[in-house]
């Protein structure tokens, strides 16, 4: 467990994750961060507890139909659904990400997006996008800004931008006002999970023209 994380998730995100109202890509970001961050995991469990209180306080005048218990016992008798195998987290990808990649870091199907930077879009619902980014050691992601919100979490290596230095587990939360050019540390290739609820806007002509084909 990484205790050096200093860029955490916000209450808004943790509460929405507990309430179950985030797009799938954002759920994936939160689940991945919680896998690495005890601090936010404890917060998220507290928000689950708020949900437990809301459930307890539901009025019960809307009772269950006749035979509901018997119907449920019949469901139980059909047996438990087959549990999917639990993947042990690997050194780079925590378990929730392995589920979306279908393996570990060697199974990621990268596509080049220029200047040595590669990405892999993960299969989530289309209301937001999750992708893995590979930034070669010392390289930069083209200067870009965002229409909506972009969360970027480091999985391997580290990067710096105008805001700060980010290491494994750190999440950078960028909104429309932030134009930034994340640059990977020279010591190691950087792999990040990035989620966004709107397409990115690149500030150089060529990346912008390419954008529709790249799904970002």
Q: How far apart are CA 172 and CA 150, in angstroms?
A: 8
Phi, psi of 158 (to 5 degrees): -160, 160
Phi, psi of 117 (to 5 degrees): -80, 135
State phi, psi for 192 to the nearest 5 degrees.
-130, 155
Nearer to other proteins, 37 or 117 (CB): 37
Neighbours of 185 (CB within 10 A): 18
Q: Which residues pair with 158 in a beta bridge?
A: 167
Residues 11-70 that bind other proteins (CB under 8 A): 11-16, 18-24, 26-28, 30-32, 34-35, 38-46, 48-60, 62-65, 68-69
As measured in angstroms, the least distance from the Cβ of 206 to other proteins is 28
Question: Which one, 73 or 205, has the nearer CB to other proteins?
Answer: 73
> What residue has token string 């928000």?
47
Question: Which parts of 123-142 interact with other proteins (CB under 8 A)?
Answer: 124-125, 127-128
The nearest distance, CB 3 to other proteins, in angstroms, is 12
Taking CB under 8 A as the rule, does residue 81 contact other proteins? yes
| Residue list 143-202, contact with other proteins (CB under 8 A) | 148-149, 173-176, 197
Task: Check residue 103 for interaction with other proteins (CB under 8 A).
Answer: no
């Amino acid at each position: 467990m990484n205790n050096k994380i200093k860029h955490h998730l916000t209450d808004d995100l943790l509460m929405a994750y507990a309430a179950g109202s985030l797009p799938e890509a954002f759920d994936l970001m939160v689940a991945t961060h919680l896998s690495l961050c005890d601090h936010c995991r404890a917060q998220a469990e507290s928000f689950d507890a708020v949900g437990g209180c809301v459930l307890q306080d539901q009025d019960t005048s809307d009772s269950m139909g006749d035979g509901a218990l018997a119907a449920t016992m019949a469901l139980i008798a059909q047996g438990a659904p087959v549990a999917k195998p639990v993947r042990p987290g690997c050194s780079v990808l925590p378990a929730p990400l392995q589920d979306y990649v279908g393996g570990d870091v060697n199974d990621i199907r990268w596509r080049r997006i220029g200047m040595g930077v590669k990405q892999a879009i993960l299969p989530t619902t289309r209301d937001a996008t999750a992708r893995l980014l590979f930034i070669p050691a010392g390289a930069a992601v083209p200067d870009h800004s965002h229409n909506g919100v972009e969360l970027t979490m480091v999985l391997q290596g580290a990067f710096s931008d105008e805001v700060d230095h980010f290491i494994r587990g750190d999440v950078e939360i960028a909104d429309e006002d932030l134009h930034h050019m994340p640059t990977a540390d020279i010591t190691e290739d950087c792999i990040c999970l990035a989620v966004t609820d709107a397409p990115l806007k690149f500030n150089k002509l060529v990346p912008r023209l390419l954008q529709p084909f790249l799904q970002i």
